[in-house]
A and B are shown apart, each in its own frame.
Chain A
């Protein structure tokens, strides 16, 4: 029997949820507010929360100094490309692991995950040398492939978990009706796993968008995405926090908007199979 939820308890839960939400969102809110301050107001002590003269000067300075659209376009291509390529490779891999497992499937899954445990800097030099040989330094193609490989274990794991929730009998029925392997994956499995695939796509776009080790170390002027755009406003000798905040706000805005509009899908996918 479900426990009755009183109005008082509901209010407390709502207040608590808002408090936690605001706490998590506060650093982003502070960054956005700082981006509208002058440099002197940005470092004021005690800090100024809202009582300052709002200025767009930092945004105009950033737009004047940097080619924001080029950084943005590179981010879109790199994050989108690596995620789509990753999903194309991961769907058949996850299908085989979920529906026709071998005795080594668990080991392979663990091995794939273990590649995430190595610090990235440990393989910087080999990958850098490989990129020189292949002519991929400062190219979007190179970054799409590297980020795809980095996120592939997560994509396979997520899809594997979602596919495991789908009864194998449905696929078996499709096979008995004469569906080929391609038709089985494309027309039977994929539509049933749409929430899972969508949340995998979204999560990996976010991961690739925010990836700041390879995108900084393998790019120079042409393929640099928004992570390099932010890094260019960090200064060891000089207080440019307001401009840095403006650059950060411009870098996170697209992904924040994407996350906002797709939050329903994201939550649905992440909780897929959580309640049976």
Chain B
């Protein structure tokens, strides 16, 4: 077996997969621009992706914010910079950890659920049934999920940012001896509108990636239980990688260019 041939085939397969996902995404966006719109399905997805994700987002953010405060305090104390805890927690949560953690939690919770649901629908011929009932699967299944994720994940990121900062505040004022009023004052004064915009924009992009990967892998799943399992696994892996890659690009765009 020629190792170069194997490498070549792998690269070509990866590029082909990226191309298929890009075309699927473009198709989803084009359907988003044209009626009919299924408002009930869209509302159900807003509830499922947004409201029902709040507990996991909140818990993830509060523990991360608390741990971040402890780490910054411990690290800062090596060069007498313990006082920067409020500022670093705020900027760390809002610019980076809030959007990324919410994105990854959405990938775990929502992408997997979308992929498994759509893949099961494919295996049980429900998608064929949709077509015979004059309903385009892209409009009925993909558009409501992608649109709901794009709109609601920024909201979740905002909530995650606030709860994460609160986690840092609780640990700092409760165990590290920070003054509560000074902590809030430092946090508010340090954050800039640009930080918040970038956080929410990242949320929208991550929501798009998470829902799109769930729909793509669900629609293209193989047969049987193994096909559904593979589709779910590939969707979560793909969404996580896409979110982290998009985060790198967006961070570059927002904060270095």
Are A and B a genuine interacting pair, yes or no? no
What residues of chain A have their CB less than 8 Å away from a CB belonging to chain B?
none
What residues of chain B have their CB less than 8 Å away from a CB belonging to chain A?
none
